[in-house]
Amino acid sequence: MPGLSQRRRTAPDDAPDGHPDSTAGGGGPAVRPARLWIDWTACDARGWCAELLPELLARDPAGYPLARAASAQTTRNITIPAPLASHARRAVDACPRLALRLLPDG
Amino acid sequence: MTVEHADSPPTVTAPVPPPRLAPAAAPREPAAPPGPASPVDTGPADHERPDHQGPDHQGPGHERPGRQGPGREPWPAGVRQIRIGAPPPTGPGITGTGHAVTTVGADAGTQRVLAVAAADLASHYRRCGPVPWRGPGGPLLAEIRDSGLTGRGGAAFPTWRKLSAVVAAAHPHTGRPGGRRRVAPSGTRRAGTPVVVANAAEGEPESTKDATLLAAAPHLVLDGLQLAAEAVGAGEAYVQVKPGAAAEVVRRAVVERRAAGWDRCRIEVREAPATFLAGEASAVVAALEGAPARPRAHWRPLADDGLHGRPTLVHNVETLAHLAMIARWGAAWFRCVGTADEPGTLLVTVTGAVAAPGVVEVPYGTPLGELVALRGGATEPVGALRLGGYAGTWLPADVGPGVAMSREGLAPWGAEPGPGLVSVLPAGACGLAETARIVAYLAGQNAGQCGPCVSGLPQLARAVAGMAGVAGRNTAPDGENPAQSASRALRLAALVAGRGACHHPDGVARLVHSALRTFAADIRAHAQGHCIGSTHPG
Ligand SMILES: Cc1cc2nc3c(=O)[nH]c(=O)nc-3n(C[C@H](O)[C@H](O)[C@H](O)COP(=O)(O)O)c2cc1C
Ligand code: SF4
Ligand code: SF4
């Protein structure tokens, strides 16, 4: 797909299943499942989140974040597997538009 | 975000006398005790109210099986065809201000909210009695839960869960109003007094059921608003209504009630702008705050953080009317019609190529063919149906008139009753051209706030216009073959779905997906340079 970020920091699409062996997340303590919420009225497609969370987010042709998992039909709420929680936290902190929020799942 | 009500058993209030229906809306058959007939055991509360009788609940919908197999009979060219322009056949129903809401034929017995409809307070009192106050919290919530009532604004969310979410947000420590609130731990936000809102903004251009209901039965809706306000302990109630006759009726009704001391919670009527999105719940809240009626990105539900940060309950007016009926006649009565999973009746606007477009009230599970017949039948051979309005789903006509109007019945076709809309597309019209017209309208109605929606919907509209064009005849805007436009539309629809503050883009994507499924043969024909629909422009 044109415009998708080719850079991958960790293992491919199917890796982040919350598998305990996953190196993503730095092996920190297991955290409760979380979801990433995007304020679409604030996001202006700067793409930092996709840089910091490439396991879960790609960019669409206009640069807006796009959920990678085919099962996630919506990018309004993206489930974050526990091992990726710290990456998600960094993406939330980095968003220049304060458009991201990490919420408890459920 | 729900509270447990098991500890507060529903108390039985003094039984409300069954309504004495005015002769004009007399029940067709004598009412029978609901208990044993109820398809589902609805708990002890019902056995203690054996005298609850509805205005009528012996309609044919009662015996009708809930699940209809995919019917294979062809659509009759004109189900009981009537000349266009002829007034709808009169029957034992009600005619609201300017809206014909009479149901006709054998099924007239399944009217409920429309059967007790009364425009003035005195007749409303004669038919329905006083407001059946229940006290805050428990009793009504349990009754609503047992009834299985779901929202009629489109999403069909269980009503009692919304009610209890607001109760829980307003009373985080006790989970019910009236319980003493302990001092909130530092850092916890004060929730504030809840607000209830009746949503009659009715943004769907084809829908008239909310206006029809309000014009015919304003007091029933307002009773529902009062009862919801009481159940959640609300301090204010609003009616957000689109301009028109219904707004006038509801204004007069509020004045009448104020003079009669009928209400316990003050009701304010506000006018909603006539845009597609004005009825979206967070846009309603924004408008009530004085901001433009645009959806808001809210990560906390409105039940936690709504009007001025207060716990807010937004319900469609039809939901509130059913709620007021259930409060009077009980959950078991409510479940007497409809299906076990989807009990009760719903209002449906039937539009398009039908003899007498208008609103009908039918039980869930009523076959689509019957619905169309109730509005005089199709005036032309049916090409396709659209369920759920502009942001709905196309259904090929060959699925048959036996398909049930219910979530279960429509699920095999990826459709839903939505906000109760059935539009009939004649076989002579081009479904792709119709889809292009609707998508262009919906794209123009986006609230201009979210990147993927703002840029995606117009692109999607151009792609759909491309597939509505005929190869070689009218040039597609992007110079594409209609088949290429179709695959582009598919890609763009996937890119807008779920990527906005509200569900507007999701609805547009759903319509486009269903058009690609339903009109696949038309796309092939367009790509080959001709159109199957004979009235196709050009
Ligand atoms: C784009 C959009 C438009 C909507 N328009 C309306 C509307 O006009 N009227 C309405 O009652 N609900 C509308 N809704 C649904 C409301 O957001 C809300 O779910 C509903 O009013 C809740 O009431 P209910 O629980 O009684 O169904 C709309 C939703 C969306 C996403
Ligand atoms: S970092 Fe923030 S502004 Fe940038 S694309 Fe992601 S969500 Fe949008
Ligand atoms: S998703 Fe579209 S319609 Fe909804 S708020 Fe955003 S821009 Fe407006």
Of the ranges A78-92, B15-29, B38-52, B380-394, the best mean pLDDT one: B380-394
Burial B242-263 (b: 16+ CB within 10 A, else e): bebebbbbbeebbebbeeeebb
Cβ distance B451 to A42 less than 8 Å, yes or no, reads: no
Tens-digit pLDDT profile for residues B62-107: 333 333 333 334 443 333 322 222 222 223 333 322 233 333 333 4
pLDDT above 60 for B219: yes
Mean pLDDT value across residues B305-316: 95
Q: Write out chain A residues lying below 8 Å of B453, CB-based.
A: 40
In contact, B361 and B347? CB cutoff 8 Å: yes
Among chain B residues, CA nearest to A102: B299
Which region among A27-36, B125-134, B292-301 has the lowest average model confidence (pLDDT)? A27-36
Token duo for residue B119: 């425009």
In contact, B194 and B99? CB cutoff 8 Å: no
Which among B1, B300, B450 is the top mutation candidate for probing chain A, defined by the most A β-carbons within 10 Å of its own β-carbon? B450
Question: Which ligand number lies closest to the CA of residue B447?
Answer: 3
Distance B449 CA to ligand 3 centre (A): 6
pLDDT above 80 for B19: no
**Residue of the CA atom closest to atom 4 of ligand 1:** B280
Q: Rounded to the nearest 10 degrees, what angle do helices B245-260 and B209-216 cross at?
A: 30
- Spatial distance between the Cα atoms of B217 and B128, rounded to a whole number of angstroms: 11
- Spatial distance between the Cα atoms of B340 and B329, rounded to a whole number of angstroms: 18
Distance A53 CA to ligand 2 centre (A): 11
- In sequence order, what are the residues at sequence separation of 6 or more whose Cβ sits closer than 8 angstroms to the Cβ of residue B528? B471
Q: What does pTM read for this prediction?
A: 0.80
Distance B391 CA to ligand 3 centre (A): 14
Tens-digit pLDDT profile for residues B156-215: 999 999 999 999 998 876 555 554 444 444 444 557 899 999 999 999 999 999 999 999
Indicate if the alpha-carbon torsion angle B379, B383, B385, B391 is positive or negative: negative
- Tell me the shortest Cα–Cα distance from A74 to chain B, in angstroms: 4
Q: What is residue A82's predicted lDDT score, i.e. its pLDDT?
A: 86
